[in-house]
Chains A and B, each alone.
Chain A
Amino acid sequence: MIIKILLISYFILFGIYLMFVANSANIRAWRKIAIFLLGAFAIFSILFPEITTNAADWLGVGRGADLLFYLTTVAVIYLGLHSYIRYRQIENRMVILVRKLALIEANQQLSIKEPTIGPKDSNTKNLPI
Chain B
Amino acid sequence: MFEDTALVIPVYNEATVIKGVIENALLTFDKIICVDDGSSDNSDAEISKTGAKLVQHAINLGQGASLQTGIDFAKQDPTTKYFVTFDADGQHRIEDVKEMVKYLRENPEVDIVLGSRFLGKTENMTKAKEILLKSAIAFSNKTSGVKLTDAHNGLRVFNRKVAQELRISMNDMAHASEIIHQIHEKKFSYTEYPVTIIYTDYSKAKGQSLMNSINIVFDLLIRKIAK
Contacts and interface: CB of A to CB of B under 8 A. Distances in A.
B partners with A: yes
Interface of A: 15, 18-19, 84-85, 88, 91-92, 94-95, 98-99, 101-103, 105-107, 109-110, 112, 115-119, 121, 123
A125 B169 CA distance: 14
Contact of B65 (A99, A112, A117): A99
B215 to A, nearest CB: 13
Interface residues of B, number: 22
A103 B69 contact: yes
B150 to A, nearest CB: 27
Contacts of A106: 53-56, 73
Contacts of B167: 119, 121
Given A99-B57, A106-B53, A18 B171 contact: no
A102 B61 CA distance: 12
19 contacts: A18-B226, A19-B225, A84-B226, A95-B171, A98-B58, A98-B59, A98-B65, A99-B57, A99-B61, A99-B65, A102-B58, A102-B73, A103-B72, A105-B55, A106-B54, A106-B73, A118-B72, A119-B167, A123-B169
B56 A102 contact: yes
Interface of B: 35, 53-59, 61, 65, 68-69, 72-73, 75-76, 167, 169, 171, 222, 225-226
Given A19-B225, A84-B226, A116-B76, A101 B58 contact: yes
Contacts, number: 60
Given A18-B226, A99-B69, A118-B72, 14 more contacts: A95-B171, A98-B57, A98-B65, A99-B57, A99-B61, A99-B72, A103-B55, A105-B56, A107-B73, A107-B76, A109-B54, A110-B53, A116-B76, A117-B72
A102 B171 contact: no
A95 B55 contact: no
Contacts of A116: 72, 75-76
Contacts of A102: 35, 55-58, 69, 73
A82 to B, nearest CB: 11
Contacts of B75: 116, 118
Nearest to A88: B226
A101 B53 CA distance: 15
A99 B226 contact: no
Contact of A18 (B53, B56, B61, B225): B225
A23 to B, nearest CB: 16
Nearest to A122: B167
Cβ-closest 5 pairs across A and B: A106-B55, A99-B69, A118-B72, A85-B226, A102-B55
A91 B75 CA distance: 24
B55 A112 contact: no
Contacts of B226: 18, 84-85, 88
Contacts of A84: 222, 226
Contacts of B171: 91, 95
Nearest to A116: B76
Contacts of A94: 59, 61
A92 to B, nearest CB: 7
